[in-house]
Each structure stands twice: as C-alpha cells, then as structure tokens.
C-alpha cells in the first residue's frame, strides 16, 4: 500500500490572502511567514499543514520536542514555497485535469492494491483524510504530472529488466493475505440456560437450511429471519482477514469456497448459517498481474526526481523570502 503515499499531501489547497487576528493576550495568531513572488504564505496555512502532516497541533509538537518542531516547520515552509511556485506555473500554462481522469487514476490505484472502495476509504480515515480531500490531492498530483510532462521534453523509458528487478527485490509489497466476504443468518438466544429455546432455534435453523438447499435465496432468508449484523443487506457482513475470525468460524470457512453455505454453527449466543460470498487466497501475486503497477511506481520515482530538479531550477529564479 506504500505507493498510496505518493498521492498524499502533494498540492494542498492554497489560501490566498491573509488576515491579522489578535487574541486577548495580544498574541498574533496569523501573520505572513513567507513571500513567494506575489503570493503570501500565512502562519495559519503553515500550522494547518503541520497538523495534517504530523497529526499534532504545532503547539503540542513544540512542547514535545522544540528542536524537531523547528526543523519540521522549516521543512513544511519549503514545501509550501515549492507548491506556490508550481501552482503559479500550472496556472500560467493553463493546465487542468478533469474529474474523469481523477476517477480513472483512483480506480487504477484500487486495482493495483486489490482494494474495494470501502477499503480505500477506511485506509484514508486511518490517515485522517476524507475521500473528498484525497480526490483533491489526486487532482493536484495529476496536474503536477502534466506540468512535468510539459516542461521536461525527454521521455521516461523503463527497461523490462528493471521492472523485473524491482519485483524480485520487493516481494513483500505484492504479498496478499487471505480475505473472505461473508454473509450470515443469525438466530440469537435470549436465555443461554433455556434448553427448550435452544432446541427450538436448532429446529428453525434446520428449516432455514432446508430452504437454502432447495434453492432459496440466502439474502431474502437473511432479511426475513436473521437477527445479526447486516440482516437488512441480506446478511452481508463484509470482508474479513483470516486472523479477524474467531477460531471456530475460521476452521469452518477454511474449507469452503465462494458460494458455499455452512451447516448451522451453534454458538453460546445463538446459531449462525454462513455463506462465503467471495474468497481471495493469500500469497505473492504473479509478476504479470503487478507489472503495470510496478511500471507506474518506477515511472513516478523518475518523475519525482525530474520534478525536484526542475523545481530547484525554477526556485532559483523566483523571489522567495522566509519571515520567522
């Protein structure tokens, strides 16, 4: 999933203009911290980016380690300066990326990493990022690619042996874990000590199983009888890694294939009937399956190298001043 990092925090939204805010203690809460040609970078903009990239409020970061805080602040100011310069050039050249291109790029990332849309959103949430923010970052990243393609005339050529070499030395990036998508019909016990209730649930589970074996629709029966999670969605409980299932359920699912339905599984809390909706085995993905993904990774690495060199040259001709 590491290649997802290339698409985060590349060209965040620039806030043009600035305001002066004074607290009751007369502390200046917003001021200019850098000038880039005719553009300004404000303290508010700097602090917002520091929180996005570190996960901490700048004041908390400073309290934890002032030296590291000062280093981080300077690194982010440099990043913001580079982004201002690039943004000016993008606007000057009239570069624009359509929503269709953004959506296509995101679909490629999901395919390369075997992610569902829900998987991607969950990963972004862990990084404190919304899907909308991710799309905005993606759009700006694609604009950067267009910018480099426009400014750097020589084509990037990747040799096949280099792609294969990357695959052989980074197999951990292409190793997947077993993942299953399950649906369940759950019959809950109200009183674990009530033996008559237990027998009644067993009879009911066998009746439901008979309907399934006779061709009954699992989703419809789940909506009608299930008392468990996902009942309204036909019993669909989503995806699970093998390690996320309890040992008993893991043993049951291990020998099932997609489309299989289990016998009633008696648990202390009730009875479950499981259906395997999808099943993806773990292991190293074959080279042919990930070749295009590796090509994009290596292309981006070379693109980043050329972009940095080009931006360094452009920065030498720009007027920049840092004010701390």
- Report the candidate in 58, 53, 47 with the shortest Cα–Cα distance to residue 15: 47
12-to-95, 102, 109, 149, 197 alpha-carbon distances in Å: 16, 15, 20, 21, 59
| Pair (277, 262) in one structural domain | yes
| Pair (29, 135) in one structural domain | yes
Measure the CA–CA gap between 109 and 41, rounded to whole angstroms: 32
| Pair (218, 149) in one structural domain | no
| Pair (274, 306) in one structural domain | no
CA angle 96, 293, 157 (to 5 degrees): 75
* 166 occurs within a structural domain: no
Residues in the chain: 324
Q: What is the pLDDT of residue 154?
A: 64
| Pair (116, 251) in one structural domain | no
The number of folded domains in the chain is 2
| Pair (134, 52) in one structural domain | yes
For 73, the domain range is 2-160+286-322
Kindly report the pTM of this predicted structure.
0.51
End-to-end alpha carbon distance in the chain: 37
CATH code, domain with 108: 1.10.4030.10
* 39 occurs within a structural domain: yes
Task: Point out the least confidently predicted range of 141-145, 176-180, 203-207, 314-318.
Answer: 176-180
| Pair (277, 291) in one structural domain | no
| Arithmetic mean of pLDDT over the chain | 84
- Report the candidate in 146, 154, 8, 13 with the shortest Cα–Cα distance to residue 89: 146
Q: At what angle do helices 218-225 and 195-213 cross, to 10 degrees?
A: 160
| Pair (10, 52) in one structural domain | yes
Q: Decide if pLDDT at 34 tops 60.
A: yes
Q: Decide if pLDDT at 20 tops 60.
A: no
272 burial (CB, 10 Å; 0-12 / 13-18 / 19+) is buried
| Pair (15, 132) in one structural domain | yes
């Amino acid at each position: 999933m590491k290649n997802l990092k290339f698409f985060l925090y590349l060209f965040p939204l620039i806030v043009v203009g600035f305001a002066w805010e004074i607290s009751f203690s007369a502390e200046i809460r917003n001021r200019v911290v850098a000038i880039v040609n005719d553009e300004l970078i404000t303290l508010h903009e700097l602090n917002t980016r520091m929180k996005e990239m570190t996960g901490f409020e700048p004041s908390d970061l400073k309290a934890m380690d002032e030296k590291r805080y000062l280093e981080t602040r300077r690194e982010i100011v440099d990043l913001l300066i580079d982004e201002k310069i690039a943004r000016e050039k993008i606007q000057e050249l009239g570069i624009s990326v359509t929503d269709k291109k953004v959506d296509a790029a995101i679909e490629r990332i999901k395919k390369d990493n075997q992610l569902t849309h829900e998987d991607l959103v969950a990963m972004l949430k862990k990084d404190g990022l919304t899907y909308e923010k991710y799309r905005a970052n993606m759009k700006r990243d694609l604009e950067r690619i267009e910018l480099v393609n426009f400014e750097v005339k020589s084509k990037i050529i990747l040799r096949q042996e280099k792609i294969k070499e990357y695959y052989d030395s980074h197999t951990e990036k292409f190793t997947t874990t077993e993942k299953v998508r399950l649906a369940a019909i759950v019959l809950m016990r109200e009183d674990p000590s009530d033996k008559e209730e237990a027998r009644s649930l067993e009879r009911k589970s066998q009746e439901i199983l008979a309907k399934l074996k006779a061709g009954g629709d699992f989703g419809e029966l789940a909506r009608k009888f299930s008392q468990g999670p996902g009942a309204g969605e036909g019993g669909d409980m989503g995806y699970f890694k093998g390690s996320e299932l309890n040992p008993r359920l893991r043993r049951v699912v291990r020998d099932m294939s997609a489309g299989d339905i289990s016998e009633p599984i008696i648990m202390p809390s009730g009875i479950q009937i499981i259906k395997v909706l999808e099943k993806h085995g773990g292991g190293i993905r074959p080279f042919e399956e990930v070749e295009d993904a590796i090509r994009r990774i290596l292309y981006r690495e070379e693109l980043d190298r050329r972009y940095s060199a080009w931006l360094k040259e452009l920065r030498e001709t720009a007027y920049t001043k840092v004010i701390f």
